[in-house]
């Protein structure tokens, strides 16, 4: 048996997956047919799957009001467990009125039974308070704020049994990995320190540079893509996975990197989401998270390095996974190489700053993209994707507020 020398899961000595299997699952799927049903959103389905696979260890379900309040205000649950973003489930007032504490409820995403909630409590929240605390704004132009403001008026709290991982295993195959699977993989490679690279975009040259910095200081890097729902304009997950896989095949050593993905929707919560990204990467076995410019940001809602600074504001020991903070990265014409503000002595006029926004804009307008912006093999895949989008529909994919990651 291999010795596990990876970081322990968050708040626990072992992963706590809530996904049912075998005969227990079969019995639960039969029971679902007799239960009242509520529809859940894509974001809630992603959270439920993360509860199921142990990605949200040690949570046992959706948060009650005291946990919601404490997480919003203090970034920890009522019991003191560090947690930066509320994990909640909501429904409308009419549906909630028909439910009682102790009752079991089937959680449906479309026609599929995703889980069973044992209801402990139901409560209303101040949505603007959550948005201000978590997202730093109440403007509904912010996609995360819009998501909160449009959710149901009543939150349902309780433990869950998870019945399905949705279509992620079938759709993404070996790229989709659970925390137990990534830990097994890291151990099989003999990795003890692993850096996660969070991305919702195809990887351009700056992304590649960030990952290779981490390769130099850790045993391995997991390029960990969000596979859930995004805002309009972000490139679909299947296209991203093909582009990332091609980049890895051509420009990384096989024994230093693994491509993987996880089932969450993007919240675009900037600094708070950076903390969540580090927290659940601890459950996946990662000792570090690469945090570059405007991590998990959108538009101009956050400062370029707010997501780095917030790690200095949380209590020591709040979680084990630590940030690898990297400054502005760019192609320097004078250096003839990728560089950062910490390594390059040349004037800014020599710098070509690369971003997902600029790359999408250029591709959507059929502009030439220089090789110092993105690798040619990656550009070929992205051009093929954009060629399939009618020109009149491309406005949505140009400048819809992306960050570097």
How, if at all, do strands 329-332 and 351-352 pair?
antiparallel
Catalytic residues: 200-201
Measured CA to CA, the distance from residue 155 to residue 70 in angstroms comes to 15
In this structure, what token pair is assigned to residue 224?
């960990």
Beta-bridge mates of residue 116? 106, 161
Measured CA to CA, the distance from residue 158 to residue 88 in angstroms comes to 10
> Residue holding tokens 């096989």?
254
- In degrees, rounded to 5, the angle at the alpha carbon of residue 165 between the alpha carbons of residues 273 and 33 is 125
Q: Is the dihedral of CA 284, 286, 288, 290 positive or negative?
A: negative
Nearest of 114, 120, 109 to residue 25 by alpha carbon: 114
Answer whether 314's CB lies under 8 Å from 75's CB: yes
Q: Return the number of other C-beta atoms located less than 10 Å from residue 36's C-beta.
A: 12
From residue 18, give the alpha-carbon distance in Å to each of 45, 72, 114, 228: 14, 24, 12, 20
Measured CA to CA, the distance from residue 218 to residue 206 in angstroms comes to 18
Nearest of 92, 93, 72 to residue 84 by alpha carbon: 72
For 97, residues 6+ apart whose C-beta sits below 8 A from its C-beta are: none
Nearest of 232, 75, 274, 69 to residue 141 by alpha carbon: 232
DSSP assignment string, 286-320: -SEEEE-TTTT--TTSS-TTHHHHGGGTSPTTS-S
Measured CA to CA, the distance from residue 78 to residue 69 in angstroms comes to 8
Q: How many residues does the chain have?
A: 405
In this structure, what token pair is assigned to residue 5?
């020398």
């Amino acid at each position: 048996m291999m010795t596990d020398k990876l970081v322990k899961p968050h708040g626990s000595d072992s992963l706590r997956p809530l996904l049912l299997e075998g005969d227990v699952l079969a019995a639960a799927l039969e029971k679902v047919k007799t239960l009242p049903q509520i529809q859940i959103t894509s974001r809630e389905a992603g959270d439920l799957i993360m509860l199921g696979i142990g990605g949200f260890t040690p949570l046992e379900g959706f948060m009650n009001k005291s946990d919601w309040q404490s997480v919003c205000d203090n970034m920890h649950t009522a019991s003191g467990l560090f947690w930066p973003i509320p994990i909640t489930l909501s429904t409308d007032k009419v549906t909630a009125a028909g439910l009682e504490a102790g009752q079991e409820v089937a959680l449906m995403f479309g026609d599929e039974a995703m889980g069973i909630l044992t209801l402990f409590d139901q409560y209303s929240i101040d949505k603007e308070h959550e948005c201000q605390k978590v997202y730093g704004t109440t403007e509904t132009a912010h996609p995360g704020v819009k998501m909160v403001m449009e959710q149901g008026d009543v939150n349902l709290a309780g433990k869950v049994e998870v019945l399905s991982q949705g279509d992620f295993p079938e759709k993404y195959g070996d790229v989709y990995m659970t925390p137990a699977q990534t830990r097994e993989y890291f151990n099989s490679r003999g990795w003890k320190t692993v850096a996660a690279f969070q991305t919702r975009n195809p990887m351009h040259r700056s992304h590649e540079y960030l990952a290779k910095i981490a390769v130099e200081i850790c045993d391995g890097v997991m390029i960990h893509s969000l596979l859930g729902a995004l805002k309009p304009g972000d490139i679909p997950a299947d296209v991203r996975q093909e582009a990332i896989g091609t980049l890895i095949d051509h420009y990384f050593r096989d024994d230093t990197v693994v491509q993987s993905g996880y089932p969450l929707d993007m919240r675009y919560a900037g600094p708070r989401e950076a903390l969540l990204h580090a927290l659940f990467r601890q459950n996946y076995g990662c000792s570090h998270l690469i945090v570059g410019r405007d991590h998990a940001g959108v538009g101009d809602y956050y400062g370029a390095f707010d997501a780095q600074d917030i790690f200095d504001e949380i209590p020591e020991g709040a979680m084990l996974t630590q940030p690898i903070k990297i400054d502005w990265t760019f192609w320097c014409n004078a250096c003839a190489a990728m560089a950062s503000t910490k390594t390059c002595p040349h004037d800014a006029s020599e710098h070509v700053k690369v971003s997902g926004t600029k790359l999408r804009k250029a591709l959507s307008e059929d502009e030439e993209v220089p090789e110092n912006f993105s690798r040619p093999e990656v550009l070929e895949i992205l051009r093929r994707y954009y060629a399939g989008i009618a020109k009149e529909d491309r406005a949505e994919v140009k400048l819809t507020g992306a960050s570097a990651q």
